[in-house]
Amino acid sequence: MISERPRPLRTCVGCGESKNKEALLRFSAGPDGSLVLNLRGRTGRGAYLCPTRACLELALKRKGFQRTLKVALAEIDKEGMLVFLS
Ligand SMILES: [Zn+2]
Give residue 85 CA to ligand 1 midpoint distance, Å: 11
Assess if residue 1 is contained within a domain.
Answer: no
Structural domain contains residue 39:
yes
The pLDDT tens digits for 11-64 are 999 999 999 988 999 999 988 888 988 876 666 789 999 999 999 999 999 999
Is there a domain that residue 2 lies in? no
The helix/strand/coil state of 51 is coil
Give the pLDDT band of residue 1 (cuts 50, 70, 90): low
Q: Which residues contact 77 (CB under 8 A, 6 or more apart)?
A: 34, 35
Number of domains in the chain: 1
For residue 67, what is the domain's CATH number?
3.30.1230.10
Q: Is residue 3 part of a domain?
A: no
Å from CA of 14 to ligand 1 middle:
5
In angstroms, what is the span from residue 13 Cα to ligand 1's centroid? 7
Q: Tell me, in angstroms, the distance from the centre of ligand 1 to residue 1's CA.
A: 28
Q: Residue 13 sits in which domain range?
A: 9-82
| CA–CA gap between residue 23 and residue 50 (Å, rounded) | 7
> How many A from CA of 55 to the centre of ligand 1?
5
Residue 4 forms part of a structural domain: no
Please, which contacts does 37-46 make with residues 24 or more away whose CB atoms are closer than 8 Å?
37/81, 37/84, 45/69, 45/70
